[in-house]
Structure formats: C-alpha cells, structure tokens
Chains A and B, each alone.
Chain A
Amino acid sequence: MSTLSERILGASAGEYVDRKVDRAYVHDGTGVLTLETWKQMGTERLSDIPELYVLFDHIVPANNTTTATLQHELREFACGSFLHFSDIGGGICHQLMSEGVVLPGEVVVGADSHSCTPGAFGAFATGVGATDMAAIWLTGETWFRVPDSIGIHLSGALTSGAEAKDLALSYVSRLGMDGGTYCALEFIGEGVKTFPMDDRLTLCNLSVETGAKTGMFYADDITVRYLASVGQKAGQQIPETCTYVRELDLDLADIVPLVAVSNRVDTVKPVQDVAGQSIDQVFIGTCTNGRYSDLVHLAKIVKGRKVAVRTIVVPASRAVLAEAIRTGVLADIIEAGCTIGTPGCGPCLGAHMGVLGEGEVCLSTANRNFKNRMGVGGEIYLSSVATAATSALAGEITEPEAD
C-alpha cells in the first residue's frame, strides 16, 4: 500500500525516479537565473511540455532600474517563447497555480521553496533551484528521490480564535526546522474535513519550514467542489493504509493562537505569552495568508475601527483583490486605516513595500522570520490573520477574541 507521494511518483520511498513534470513555474526572482542557466546549457530549446509558467510576484512593480531591466529581459523571453506569463499585479505564483490550475495527481515543480503549497490539491508539488528548473525547461523532466512520508493526523475541530495558521505553526514547532527534511507531510484524519481549500493551502505552505519536500492533502469532496467552482473537473483520491516514518497526532481543539518569535519559525509561543510586545508594523498577505478568506477575516475584525500601527495588506492575487472589491471587504479594510499593496509577495522578502527600519518590529502573517529578512535590524513575529488584525488595532501583540 502506498503513500500519496509513492502513488504519484510511481515508486517506493527511497527509490530514485526520473519523472516528466506536468507543470513548472518560475517567478521574477528565480526566473532570471533560470533563463541565464538555460542559455548556458547550449541548445536554447524548450521542452515540449506546454505547461511552463513565468509569474511575476516578488518585486512588483520593479523597485529600481536594475530590477526593471532584469524583469524586462525575462518578460520579453516569456512572451516571445509563448510561455504562460503573468505580469505584475497578477499575483503570487503559488496562488495562481491554486486558482484552478494544479490538479490532483500532478507532478508540479516551482523555482521557489514554497512550491509545496499546491500539494493541498493532492499533487506532488515541490521547490527546485534555478539550474534544476533550467534542465526542466530543456527536457521536461527531473529526478526525484521518492520521499518517506510523515503522517499528520488531525482530529476534532479548531475552537474559536484559532486558525489553520496556528495549526501550521504548531506542527512546525513540533517537527522543528529540520524534522521533515527529505520527507513529505501527509495531512490525514477526520480533522481534514474541517478545512476548506484556503486553509489547506496555508497548511501545506508551511511544510517546507520543517524541511519537508512537500505537504499534501488527499483530494476529497472539498477539493473536487473547489476545483469545480473554478472550472476544473477532478476526481477524489482515496487514502490507502500505508507506512509513515513518523506520525503526529494533533487534536485541533488543543490549538490556541500562536506566534513564531524572531528568528526561527519553529520557536513558537502562545500569543498570550508575548501579549503586550510593541509592534511598529503589521503585514497581512503572502502565499501563506493573503487569500480572500484571510481578507474577509481581517475585515470582520477591523471593520468600523482604526488600526493603531501601520498595517500593510497585500492580496495574494488579482482575483483575490477583485473579489474583495466586489464584496465590499476591501472598503472595510481601507476605512480601518490599512494600506493596500500590489498583489504579490509584498515586503515578505525585504525588497520593498514595507521594509523595516533598524530596531522595528513587524507582526506578519508570512512564513519566515529569519534574521534581517524584512530589513537589517528588524524583527519579525509570525501569526494568524486574527492575531495580526487584533494586534494592529491594539498597537501591540494581542490575543484575538473568540468569534
């Protein structure tokens, strides 16, 4: 009996396989190096797989002449070669792949570490570097070591105040920053039924913070219904009895609001333990928590009130932004004093649109709080949307109220 990774890759854990990939994507950051390396490989031939994507999200719009020039070259190439291309403002690559593109059972690679995110659809989705991606452009395939799998068994349901992000921080703290290295995480158990696709994407997104190759949900009725809503037909995947190298049992009722404190994602504390920590900036967005349901949650908390610190909100995609405008959610957010950025990665990687000053503290819904990541001398705490929104209103880290 097989794990989902074994089923998709067609071999047993520990074996090495060469696999055609179904989809391969780069962004404006990794795409530049991929293009350079692919040219060095000599043939200037693209593989015959049609599903190659260039999706601009990291520094959008370009922040200076150097970036703009690099982006210009990549844009010209992508359009001239008829690759799928999304220019500035389209959204974060992982989000775009999750809006009716990636399907259950596919092999998907992205030149970005958070390419594990679309594993939420029951795909084998993982990150690669630029040179691996260049070889995929050339041949359409790459090698994998079929991973061992870690079963994360979810039971019960979250209680008020806790979100999927809190569960994600919880499993990262339990596994540690290398507890999932070379493995795939499989989210299983009755508790998975309590999570819609947006939450599943958040849970898979953090899997790489344990070192895991990917995080995966089996496609079920929730997956199929979501994909139908975005115009895609897909079937369910039935879990088989299989062997996990490790199992983690998490009762969702035990999950409380959490924060990861600077500088490690696995150094996690209950929000109440750091309550009162002053903050200079709140950032809500990214491939972790920039989806429409996140903006709805934010609006619900800040509507009719005013944020006490600068609060940057970056929708994960144009579709997310458009939906938030259509439903009035965005107006609630703006009227509360929040600033809206271009759909994309925003200040997560410290390039622009919210870089921290020395000694400043940011509470962020992103997935990384590494030293100096958002600016030299800045500190980053990671939390759920509810904790970030509540803290934005208070001007200090504050536990969210139960719904």
Chain B
Amino acid sequence: MQGAGHAVCLGPDIDTDLVIAGRYLRTKDHSVWVSHVFEDLDPALAGQLNGAVIVAGKNFGCGSSREQAALALREAGVAAVIAPSFARIFFRNAINVGLPAIECSVSCTEGEIVRFDLAAGWVDAGGSRYPVRPLSPRMQEILSAGGLVSYWRSHR
C-alpha cells in the first residue's frame, strides 16, 4: 500500500478521548465525527485532516478502546497515521477499518508532503527515508482488503 499527504504533526500520548470525545460517540452517523475530531486538542485540526498524514509522537491512541477514534480519522480523510508506537487496541482498530497505522520514527515539519510505501517498508519525509516496522502477515492481509469487514466478506 502506498500513499502520501501533508503532514499534520502531533505530540506523544494522544489518547482516544482527544481524538473523538465521549460526548459524540452515541450515533450511527459516522459523518458527525468528522467535524469533532481532535476538538479537545485543537478545534482547528478537524479542518486540516482531509488528505493528511498524521505524524504523531509515541503511544498514539492510548486509553479507551473506542473504534470511533479510528473511524473518525478515516472519515475525515486521513491517509495514514505515523507514530513510533501505538496503543495496541487503536493499532488493531485502525488496520481493521482500513486506516494505515505505520510504526515509524519520523522527523518532519508541519505541512510538508510525507510519502509511504508499506510493501517496500519506508516513509519519506523531510528529505530522509525512514524504515517502517512491518505489519504481521495477517494485518497486511486485513489492511490490503480495506479492513476486517471486507476481509471476512471475502474469506467466508
């Protein structure tokens, strides 16, 4: 899987309450979340996410298991989330909804174009190429299928 987008840079330990607050969870209308992503971190961020690659610090997605965090980022048009490490439930959730979560330590500046190629195992940012920690074969299959729903629809 390949992709690119403008970098939106965030700090470490971004919890899923910050990605999408609990007060917005109770709905089946996923589009509701698009305008509230990261609201408690910085309300201006939601408008910058379409086509973005989020470049975050360690332990992205910690806290609550709410899958709405991964869904909200996907619905907002985020191309991928890159971080040195992820909280494990968010990591599984992201891959399961078809959102690339890329374990990689990247140094880059806000707004610059970040490219990634998961099959080849690299991220390009700030004129440097960074190695990606590979996904397990199963997670690669799930991501390639576009998420776990499509994966099971094709495997049943």
Contacts and interface: CB of A to CB of B under 8 A. Distances in A.
**Chain B binds chain A:** yes
Interface of A: 16, 29-30, 32-33, 36-37, 40-43, 59, 66-67, 70, 111-113, 115, 127-132, 134-135, 138-139, 143, 145, 177-178, 181-182, 211, 213, 264, 349-351, 368, 370-373, 376
Interface string B3-39: 0000000000101011001110111100000000000
14 contacts: A16-B136, A29-B25, A30-B66, A42-B156, A43-B156, A67-B26, A115-B65, A129-B89, A131-B97, A143-B138, A177-B62, A181-B88, A211-B59, A373-B22
Contact of A371 (B18, B67, B85): B18
Contacts of B97: 131
Interface string B109-130: 0000000000000000000000
B122 to A, nearest CB: 22
Contact of A42 (B28, B63, B148, B153): B153
Interface in B56-114: 58-59, 62-68, 70, 85-90, 92-93, 96-97
Contacts of A351: 22-23, 26
Contacts of A16: 136, 138
**Shortest Cβ-Cβ A-B pairs, 4 listed:** A178-B59, A129-B93, A131-B96, A129-B67
A132 B59 contact: no
How many chain B residues sit at the interface, stated as a range, is 35 or more
B150 to A, nearest CB: 9
Contacts of B149: 37, 40-41, 131, 134
A33 B68 contact: yes
A37 B27 CA distance: 14
Given A132-B148, A211-B87, A373-B17, A350 B96 contact: no
A181 B59 contact: yes
A372 B40 contact: yes
A30 to B, nearest CB: 7
Nearest to B64: A113
Contacts of A127: 65, 89
Interface string B126-156: 0000000000101000000001110011001
A238 to B, nearest CB: 28
Contacts of B153: 40-42
A33 B88 contact: no
A338 to B, nearest CB: 24
Contacts of A143: 136, 138
